[in-house]
Chain A
């Protein structure tokens, strides 16, 4: 990996300056917090329509309900936000034409691709910290009771779910590379969300890597460690696939 530190610096500078990253951070942290807050508040007041929509979280109470709702929203909402930003980070090089300038450098394209994914991971960790902190604040403001060990475990699972959602969005990076633009990545993100949602409704359970993190965050007893670990194969495989695609990339279309 030639020039990885330089590539990391370049990608970090670009991400910090990008409006799309700031907007997506706001969308994920504030959007999920507001949705989780309003749905939990409405459910706590006995709103039948909301309770009917909450699925397994409807049977929970207190911190468990708030974090169950947040996990459901995160599974789709955060994945959408992460997938769009990842599609932008890759696809913008093609859309802006800057991809040509990333050839003929002492920094290899494989390093640039890996740097993009590492910066994405760092951003998802930051978003995970902010979202978890926001939900802690929401829970305290809603008067859900003291932060006991169960609630702390729930918040920790919420953080892990957020970061894993960022990892599950990695097929978008590969798709944006193959499709030479943002749209292929966004389409892949939507496909991931649809497959995960449909599979859960169809009862595939936690053996589907795309669905396991959310199921684990809501009901940790129903998901085994192996099933959560299996979810890690998605980011691992698509990191390799994306780096390989960048290494072999030709400007032939």
Chain B
């Protein structure tokens, strides 16, 4: 069986009591969209940062394409795309230059740089922003540009933290279609979101995180998924307060 695209094994990173990640096991398989849901401060972003090497774990292991994040080489990272916290968009550069810079940083060279930038701009309907300085773009278009920068090299492991933030409805639909296409092509996608209805539309698996731990899973086709989510979180809160 092939390695999961992304995996966490007993992953721990503590900042303060109750904050951080407290022993998470998780796997994102090829061809799967795996959603992380949880309240603010639940540990979703910390988990993603650990999987991308932005933080070193206190204990446990984070794996990308079966390799430990701490020792993964350039060939492993060349197959990873992510947007966590802020988009990799420089305000002084126009849209096309931003995409070309990202393409080079993701290992593309020569003619592949322009081809990838043009293709992803077409896919995410960014062509009208390509000659505009990114600093003058709306927040939504900067986010869309950041998503394009994360996806332009066709990564097989994708990590997106709240990617629909600031996106307009058209952008949300474009992102949804792009992720579904990429998962169908074999990418493993880990995505966090507060929009449970959006998660239900695209995710194959939904993992609920609370106080740095996995507290359960929701079937994407669960009727009234929001109610089921809050019931799970409140049950965990009550268990901890006892």
Q: Chain A: residues with CB nearer than 8 A to chain B? A: 2-3, 6-7, 9-10, 13-14, 17-19, 96-98, 100-108, 250-252
Contacts and interface: CB of A to CB of B under 8 A. Distances in A.
Nearest to A97: B86
A244 B83 CA distance: 25
Interface residues of B, number: 38
B86 A7 contact: no
A18 B53 contact: no
B71 interface: no
A100 B104 contact: no
Contact of B55 (A19, A107, A251): A251
A20 to B, nearest CB: 9
A7 B102 CA distance: 10
A101 B106 contact: no
Nearest 8 CB-CB pairings of A with B:
A101-B88, A97-B86, A106-B74, A104-B52, A106-B78, A106-B107, A100-B85, A6-B104
B119 to A, nearest CB: 19
Given A9-B104, A103-B52, A251-B49, 17 more contacts: A2-B73, A6-B109, A19-B92, A96-B91, A97-B85, A98-B88, A98-B89, A98-B90, A100-B88, A101-B102, A103-B54, A106-B78, A106-B105, A107-B105, A250-B54, A250-B56, A251-B54
A100 B90 contact: no
A64 B77 CA distance: 56
A243 to B, nearest CB: 17
Contact of A3 (B86, B105, B159): B105
Nearest to A17: B92
A14 B90 CA distance: 8
Interface string B70-97: 0001110110101111111111110001
B203 interface: no
Interface in B133-149: 146, 149
A250 B70 CA distance: 12
B83 A14 contact: no
Contacts, number: 93
Contact of A252 (B55, B82, B91): B55
Contact of B82 (A10, A19, A104, A106): A104
B101 interface: yes
A23 to B, nearest CB: 12
A251 B56 CA distance: 9
B92 A100 contact: no
B77 A6 contact: no
A17 B101 CA distance: 13
A149 B149 CA distance: 54
20 contacts: A3-B74, A3-B107, A6-B104, A6-B105, A10-B101, A14-B92, A17-B93, A17-B97, A96-B90, A96-B91, A98-B86, A98-B87, A98-B88, A98-B90, A100-B49, A103-B82, A105-B80, A105-B106, A106-B106, A251-B55
A45 to B, nearest CB: 44
